[in-house]
Amino acid sequence: MYKILVINTGSTSTKLAVFVDGNNTLEENIVHSAEELEHCATLLDQYPIRRDAILRFLNNNGVNAKNFDAVAARGGTFGYAKGGAYLVEENLLEACRHPVTNHPSNLSAIIADDIAKTAGCKAYIYDAVCVNEVRDIARTTGLADIKRRPFSHVLNTRATAKDVAASLGKRYEDMNFIVAHMGGGISINLHEHGRIIDLCSDDEGPMSPERAGKLNGKAYVDLCYSGKYTKDEMMKHIKGRGGLVSHLGTSSLIDVESMIDGGNEHADFILNVMAYQIAKEIGALATVVRGCVDSIILTGGCAYSKRLTEKIKVSVSFLAPVTIVPGAKEMEALAEGITRVLDGEEGFHIYEKA
């Protein structure tokens, strides 16, 4: 029987859960206020705030932080990684301190390492955001000095695809899936026989609740050099203030649907645009496997919106059966993956920077 602490750091929250013998016995989503984080000049400055919040929560709930068999952390955007587990050690920690992109998920491993040392156990990450199983043909762009970054919601999409395969009485490794993770950002993955061979990341495809998605390159360059915005402000335009936020002033699909129910035709049009763009990218990925798709899965928080999923389903169901799996099982996936490592069913990698 294993006791595993799971840590998942997001932009304004830190999720944690305690799994005992595979069961989620305690879970919390610690929300960090803007006032709490505004004094942090860098992402790394948030580390002690988030670590102390976790330790406080555990202590307040009678959980001894020295009594874990492993700590499982979300893997971030620290480089390019293989699928599966990585031991958190100095190479990985250094990469998380100086990541490819500055994403809060990189803090998870750093915090996990600290708590694991207290507990006298090991910390791991599993199916990191930066897992790269994509073929070279899918990473090459029209500019020789730019390659696509294959960053996506690997953890949830793979875990969900495995669950759907099991529900059909088949092995994940024997099937082809297109999985759309629809949250604050949207990424769409093509899983061919157990590998994510191509994808659409959250900055190159459909608009999402808070991200702009694919943009006309010339128009965006013109805006960048218009003198109206700084680099940080432009980054906010595409990630944070894009998508539904830009068009409708909210990232909440509940709010958008309320607008539509109240007769707001523009809100209805924008939701149609988002569904149209998601469906179009699903169709594009189907061409990579010549239409041989066993199942299309719509998952993530936005999949709770029947209005959205039905619009997508109408457009893509000719390709393959569509399965709706609302929400995300990232915490469970982390615990399950590291349990397999502890049981010896899976090994783990040591990170080596390319």
Of residues 311, 287, 309, the one with CA closest to residue 298 = 309
Taking CA atoms, 11 is separated from 68, 106, 229, in Å, by 26, 11, 22
Of residues 191, 77, 66, 42, the one with CA closest to residue 117 = 66
Residue 12 binned pLDDT confidence (cut-offs 50, 70, 90): confident
Could you list the beta-strand ranges (E) of 81-153: 85-87, 122-126
Tell the residue number behind the tokens 């390492």, with chain if given: 113
- Residue percentage of the chain with pLDDT more than 90: 86
- Buried-state track 13-45, b at ≥16 Cβ within 10 A, e below 16: ebbbbbbeeeeeeeebebebeeeebeeeeebee
Q: CA 243 to CA 211: how far, in whole Å?
A: 5
Of residues 83, 230, 97, 85, the one with CA closest to residue 157 = 83
Give CA 265 to chain center in angstroms. Answer: 31
Of residues 350, 286, 300, the one with CA closest to residue 92 = 350
Copy the structure tokens of residue 151. 């960053």
Q: Is the pLDDT of residue 333 over 80?
A: yes
Task: Report whether 251 contacts 243 (CB < 8 A).
Answer: yes
Give per-residue pLDDT as tens, 225-240: 999 999 989 988 898 8
Domains of the chain: 3-133+331-349 (3.30.420.40), 154-327 (3.30.420.40)
> What mean pLDDT is predicted for residues 259-269?
98
pLDDT of residue 236: 87
Residue 47 binned pLDDT confidence (cut-offs 50, 70, 90): very high
Q: CA 148 to CA 138: how far, in whole Å?
A: 8
Residue 299: beta bridge partners?
Answer: 181, 325
Give per-residue pLDDT as tens, 149-170: 888 899 999 999 999 999 999 9
Residue 270 binned pLDDT confidence (cut-offs 50, 70, 90): very high
Copy the structure tokens of residue 216. 């006309």
Q: What is the pTM of this model?
A: 0.89
Name the packing angle between helices 265-288 and 253-261 (round to 10°): 130
Q: Is the pLDDT of residue 211 over 70?
A: yes
Ramachandran category for residue 314: left, alpha or beta (phi over 0 → left; psi -120 to 50 → alpha): alpha
Task: Report whether 303 contacts 340 (CB < 8 A).
Answer: no
Give per-residue pLDDT as tens, 109-125: 999 999 999 999 999 99
CA dihedral 142, 185, 329, 339 (to 10 degrees): 50
Task: Report whether 88 contacts 113 (CB < 8 A).
Answer: yes
Task: Report whether 260 contacts 275 (CB < 8 A).
Answer: no
Copy the structure tokens of residue 23. 């069961």
* CB proximity list for 271: less than 8 A, separation 6 or greater: 256, 257, 260, 307, 308, 311
Q: CA 273 to CA 17: how far, in whole Å?
A: 36
Residue 124: beta bridge partners?
Answer: 72, 87
Q: CA 243 to CA 247: how far, in whole Å?
A: 6
Sign of CA dihedral 290, 318, 201, 269: positive
pLDDT of residue 354: 66
3-state secondary structure of 2: coil
3-state secondary structure of 32: coil
CA dihedral 35, 41, 42, 46 (to 10 degrees): -40
pLDDT of residue 77: 92
